[in-house]
Chains A and B, each alone.
Chain A
Amino acid sequence: MKLINHLILRITVGFTVVMLFWGAVYFFLQMKEIHDGNDEGLTNLKQEFIAKANAVGGFVENMERETPLNLIVKEISREEAEKMVENFSTTTVYFATELEKEEVRMLTTAFRCEQNGKFFQLQFFTSTVESDDLIKNMLYLLLGLWVTLSLTIIIISKIIIFRANKPFYELLDKLKNFRLDTNKIFDFPQTEIKEYAQLNRSVEELLKKNIDIFTEQKQFIENTSHELQTPLAIVIAKLEMLLEKYQNNEYLSTEIAAALNTLNRMKRLNSNLLLLSKIKNNLFTDIAEVDLQRVLEGVVADFEEIIACKNITVVSTYSISATVRMNRDLAHILLTNLVKNAVAHNRTGGQIIISGKANSITIANSGTTAATNVFSRYQRDANDENSSGLGLSIVKSIADLYPVDINYHFENGLHIFKITF
């Protein structure tokens, strides 16, 4: 749920509860006020009635007989009169004129007429506000008020909250598109709100720190592999001198050759690592229109002897050649690594099937089982101790630099790599 809706929903719910409570309180206070007014009138009426009844003979009987509109007089016994407590009540009385029962406020009391010493029950009543109607009207009013206020709140909140939060949403948007490896921090949205300014500053600091760490990390890998080149050069040169010197000593020459072999592996590993970090550090900036199919044909030709030696059949079908805007050297490295992979992980007498289309190139080679995580670093065949395990991750890093997509799947005994551009 969006922050703005979250806030509005909660404001509206809280607001409704307050409105309902306030409505109820208002209703009871209003009713009480009305009843108080009525009750006072009824009490006055009663006092006037009693005064008259005590002064004028036959007044009560008259009234009992005539039944005026707002009074019911009934003779009762002394015991009943003594038990009776004066009270006010809200009840209904049938009005012949209106053909229905109406809500009335009623004062019920007993009195002894001094004229004849008889006891009477007196019921004075007066029409009052019908609570049903009042409730109904109040509900309508409240509902109207509620709708109006809610709408006002929603609209105002939307405008105010949205405006006030604009820098926040802008920041979110920019963070979403932020990439650590671009090394560039975006411009922060302008804001006069203190908290957002603070947020901007904190985010900026955090990003700067992360970029620094990231750059340092990248630089570290590059520098390390770079620094390793000279010691490697020394060891390799020295061992080659020794090999030359002791070539007639079978034991020494074999051992030195084995050491050299390992060093050569290390050399390749190191140069691949260096290449990988150079790609990630975006050091290949020259971009040109590269015809991948032409490059691929050249790469396959480079591998001609190895392919022949492994007795591998290469089947190539090219349709229209297409160009991709990328670095020429990287294009070459990308395809070399893929072809190298197709040769290395092939069996003797296997196949390499290359097909070039307008916007994709597929390189497939014979294999036995599907491989997993092919593009991860140092992911390699257990029995392939000489592979650096970096070839395909170099491929992936290069593809990531450009709008080039590379994916792998295994189908019908073929490892299939597809480059889409």
Chain B
Amino acid sequence: MKILIIEDEPALMRTMEEFLLQEKYVVEKASNYGAAVEKALMYDYDCILLDISLPGGSGLKILDEMKREGKAGNVIIVSAKNSLDDKILGLNLGADDYLCKPFHLSELHARIKAVLRRKQTDGKDILTFGNSAVNFKERQLTVNCEPLKLNRKEFDMLLFFVTNKNRLISKEALAEHVWGDNIDLADNFDFVYSQVKNLRKKLKECGSDIVVGNVYGIGYKLVI
């Protein structure tokens, strides 16, 4: 999978690159408007991470160019501007998602996976873990071919774990992913704990191979 990072901040670029390389992606980089337009129009990427404020021009203009060339899609805008107008404009110009800085790497990863999944039009959108299968499109989990009933938030948590398998997921990142930015009750992530406990219980009761591990005091990790 090939990913283009368009980002003018070198330190952030390096970290994102390192992270994506760890996740076994092929990474290309562009740190200004000119280079970004050139790369985005010349090559095909599975996903483009696009910063809006760039030296030389706006990221939105790149989107515009891409749309004109019929290359829109698979773009995640990563912007420090949490502006609704930019979001709407970006999505209208063909971006798939909008992620605000600062973000959790696990969140970035989940967004990239979602974009990649959407791109896979070849039917099956199912991940299997031993006796368990997660169907992303149907939003369903089956264990030994038996569907397991999960509520919306339990399934969101499961998806987040599955997408970030083998990665450490902090409680904050999980809470923000499932409950949104507005749930900033940092003093009280107990509810996350009890929610994960419920999910674990359900998984365990039907003997699923998916096991959500506990990283004490920090968060969780799904190990396969």
Contacts and interface: CB of A to CB of B under 8 A. Distances in A.
Interface of A: 226-227, 229-230, 232-238, 240-241, 243-244, 247, 253-254, 257, 260-261, 263-265, 267-268, 271, 274-275, 283-284, 302-303, 305-306, 308-310, 329, 333, 336, 340, 343-344, 384-388
A340 B182 contact: yes
Nearest to B18: A241
B186 A329 contact: no
A336 B15 contact: no
Nearest to A232: B102
B218 A257 contact: yes
B168 A230 contact: no
A333 B180 CA distance: 12
18 contacts: A229-B80, A230-B102, A233-B80, A234-B15, A241-B105, A243-B168, A244-B167, A247-B215, A261-B172, A265-B186, A302-B180, A310-B190, A336-B182, A340-B183, A344-B187, A384-B187, A386-B187, A388-B184
Given A240-B105, A257-B170, A264-B172, A233 B12 contact: yes
B80 A306 contact: no
B218 A306 contact: no
Interface of B: 9, 11-12, 15-16, 18-19, 22, 80-84, 100-106, 153, 167-168, 170, 172, 179-188, 190-191, 194-195, 215, 217-218, 221
A230 B183 contact: no
B104 A240 contact: yes
Contacts of A306: 183, 185, 188, 191
A267 B102 contact: yes
B164 to A, nearest CB: 10
A318 B185 CA distance: 27
Contact of B12 (A226, A234, A274, A340): A234
Contacts of B82: 229, 271, 274-275
> Main SS of the interface on chain A?
helix
A229 B188 contact: no
Interface centre among A257, A384, A385 (most CB of B within 10 A): A257
B170 A233 contact: no
B9 A230 contact: yes
Given A244-B22, A310-B188, 5 more contacts: A237-B19, A237-B102, A247-B215, A254-B217, A302-B179
Contacts of B9: 230, 234
B190 A236 contact: no
A112 B105 CA distance: 140
A329 B191 contact: no
Contact of A243 (B11, B181, B218): B218
A92 to B, nearest CB: 103
B185 A344 contact: yes
Given A265-B186, A344-B188, A384-B187, A232 B194 contact: no
B19 to A, nearest CB: 6
A264 B186 contact: yes
B80 A226 contact: yes
A221 B194 CA distance: 38
Given A241-B15, A268-B186, A340-B185, A305 B191 contact: yes
A360 B186 CA distance: 30
Contacts of A260: 170, 172
A226 B186 contact: no
Interface centre among A226, A236, A254, A268 (most CB of B within 10 A): A236
